[in-house]
Amino acid sequence: MISIITPVRNGEKHIETCVQNVIEQDCPTIEHIVVDGGSDDGTIEIVKIYAAKHNHLRYISENDNGQSNAMNKGIAMARGDIIGILNVDDFYEPDTLCRIEYLFRNKKKPAMIVGNCNVWDDSGSLLYVNRPERLRIEDLLLGWRVNPHPVNPTAYFYHKDLHKIIGPYDEDEHFAMDLDFIFRAVQKAHTTYFNEVWGNYRLIEGTKTVSDQKKGESALRAQRLRGKYQRQLPVFKQANVFLMKLKHDIFHKLNRLRIHK
């Protein structure tokens, strides 16, 4: 079974389309767990209406300590052995969850599978497609401009047992918890990339993610995390990351010189 976890607080504007997106997957081997952080709008009332009609939908509503805490609560509730995280304003491509269930059938635990993700702006225009093909920790530590990491959990899924090895989502991290998880996960999971679009990530004005990006804080957090995990690598792997970065910087500078000649 696949357990889809949706952390939400005051997501009345998007919760109905989120719940409907999972229903429309028409996949019998799923459950959808909405972890509401004590919303004071109409979020939980909408969830209750759908939960009364669809027994795959479960929910909890209580104050929490942020998004990471909510995700950890949902994972603790999960009955499935495969985890997916669906933020309230994001959505899956049609038939994604049945495809995921099929791909996990012969996967050795703990496994993580990663696909592509469409990234949309607030007006519904496609900005780009995130294609994180190289998923070794050394490659991910090269940084976004050299090698993109998975940008959104709609495009990756993993065995629940992975958390027994790497621990839960970091509840002290309220912005870059997904990237922190990815850096830990790829070092322990049997990770496979599929060149298929599974997820859709919406950059919506006013959300904490977009606000953080505009302030430049998002890039700084990612840089700090890369430094943290690079320092944890064996010395020879640290040296390899350094040399790959140096090679990229030299190539980039030479390319710029050719353009300006």
Burial 134-148 (b: 16+ CB within 10 A, else e): ebebbbbbbbeebbb
Measured between alpha carbons, how far is 159 from 215 in angstroms, rounded to an integer? 35
Measured between alpha carbons, how far is 248 from 78 in angstroms, rounded to an integer? 42
pLDDT tens-digit profile of 10-38? 999 999 999 999 999 999 999 999 999 99
More confident residue, 206 or 57: 57
Measured between alpha carbons, how far is 104 from 113 in angstroms, rounded to an integer? 8
CATH number for the domain including 211? 3.90.550.10
Residue 256 is predicted with a pLDDT of: 67
Measured between alpha carbons, how far is 249 from 119 in angstroms, rounded to an integer? 27
Number of domains forming the structure of the chain: 1
Is the whole model's pTM more than 0.95, yes or no? Answer: no
Which domain, by its residues, includes 134?
Answer: 2-260
> Closest Cα partner for 117 from 64, 172, 157?
157
